[in-house]
Amino acid sequence: MNVLITSNMYPNKHSCFGIFVKHQVEGLEHIGIEIIKVAKNKKRWYTYVPFVFKSIFYVLFRSYDLVHAHYGFHSGLLPALLKRKPLIVTYHRGDALDEPLRNKVYFWLQRFTVFRADFLIAVSNDIREALVKSLGADPRKISIIPCGVDTELFHPLDKARKQKELGIPENSKVVLFIGELTKRKGVDLLLKCAERIREAHFIFIGEGEVKANYENCYFVGPKPNHVLPKWINIADIFALPSRSEGTPVVVLEALSCGIPVVASKVGGIPDLIHDGVTGYLVEPEDVDMFEKRLRELLENPEKRRQMGLLGRKHMIENYDSRRIAERIKQVYERVLDKYTLNIGVT
């Protein structure tokens, strides 16, 4: 099976931009699917120009069995307009939740892409609901398949050794955040917790405008995905107080490393965390409860250990990238079978 993947989000060796798409591609290749890739790997708007021309050329002139586009019309519009083979589109978050509300142009472009696609993949329940209610998608043509995690790369490591390697004081209590330093990600809320929990080190990996000068907060900038396992393993808790999310891969990565997660009950996060078992879910904006859950885990190493063990088990059994790839392969096969049948009938 040959699949043309188009994505306006794909990392290069210097960034993690769209790393979840790359992991999915690697999982598909691992199970024997041949991938032809057309990708945009920089955020700058002008990089859409070569991406558009390359997409047109590949859609029209390359040989493939189907197209799988990531992130709504940004990658799926041209395959929808120039349709030669079946089209599957994965919606990740903003393409379904935010952009249809931005303006009429974005709404109709997303709706057209949904209409022309043969099948849709939503990474969480709320995105599936938005596709149906806001964009008129046929619920029979949607599967919920989250992003996966490479459980072999993201696995538990010796905490003390990694803390020493990264210059973290011995026996430090560490709360870790990874992502854009923005209000959407709730960084301002986590900073309020840091102000209250002075005995813990709060480490922020990423870039953005929300920062603070508290003595116990450390902003270390963005890090390549392949070094994140050692950073995750210095943590006692991974924290994500987001106001809006799709399926955040960093939660999968933290759980896969055996680190309990305290996160907001938004987007696809409740699908990932068993509340009270592998971490805690907190209502968005509830700083007091977020602080309470962080303190509870910081003061109870045995609970952290048990949650970590169960979190990793849950990732291996349900979210390993190879398992996710198998589910996507099943979608490919169903879509191709239906397409072949329709061609035969015609």
pLDDT in tens, 12-67: 776 677 888 988 999 999 999 999 999 998 888 889 999 999 999 999 999 999 99
Q: How far apart are CA 196 and CA 298, in angstroms?
A: 13
Cα 238–chain centre separation: 15
Provide the residue type at 161 as one letter: R
Average pLDDT over the chain reads 93
Please report the pLDDT score of residue 174 as a whole number: 97
- Each domain of the chain, given as residue ranges in start order, spans 2-148+321-345, 159-318
Fold match flag (2-148+321-345 vs 159-318)? yes
pLDDT above 60 for 346: no
Q: Which helix (H) or strand (E) holds 56?
A: helix 48-61
- Among the residue ranges 61-75, 197-211, 221-235, 331-345, the one predicted with the least confidence is 331-345
Number of residues in the chain: 346
Q: How far apart are CA 123 and CA 257, in angstroms?
A: 21
Q: How confident is the model at residue 212 (pLDDT cuts 50, 70, 90)?
A: confident
By percentage, how much of the chain surpasses pLDDT 90?
A: 79
Please report the pLDDT score of residue 96 as a whole number: 83
Q: What is the CATH number of domain 159-318?
A: 3.40.50.2000
Please report the pLDDT score of residue 245 as a whole number: 87
Please report the pLDDT score of residue 344 as a whole number: 64
Question: What is the mean predicted confidence (pLDDT) over 149-161?
Answer: 93
By percentage, how much of the chain surpasses pLDDT 70?
A: 99
Could you tell me the CA-to-CA distances from 259 to 263, 307, 309, 313 in Å, in that order?
12, 8, 8, 12
Question: What is the mean predicted confidence (pLDDT) over 77-81?
Answer: 96
Q: How confident is the model at residue 345 (pLDDT cuts 50, 70, 90)?
A: low
Domain 2-148+321-345 CATH superfamily: Glycogen Phosphorylase B; (3.40.50.2000)
Question: What is the mean predicted confidence (pLDDT) over 280-302?
Answer: 97
Q: Which residue has the higher pLDDT, 41 or 256?
A: 256
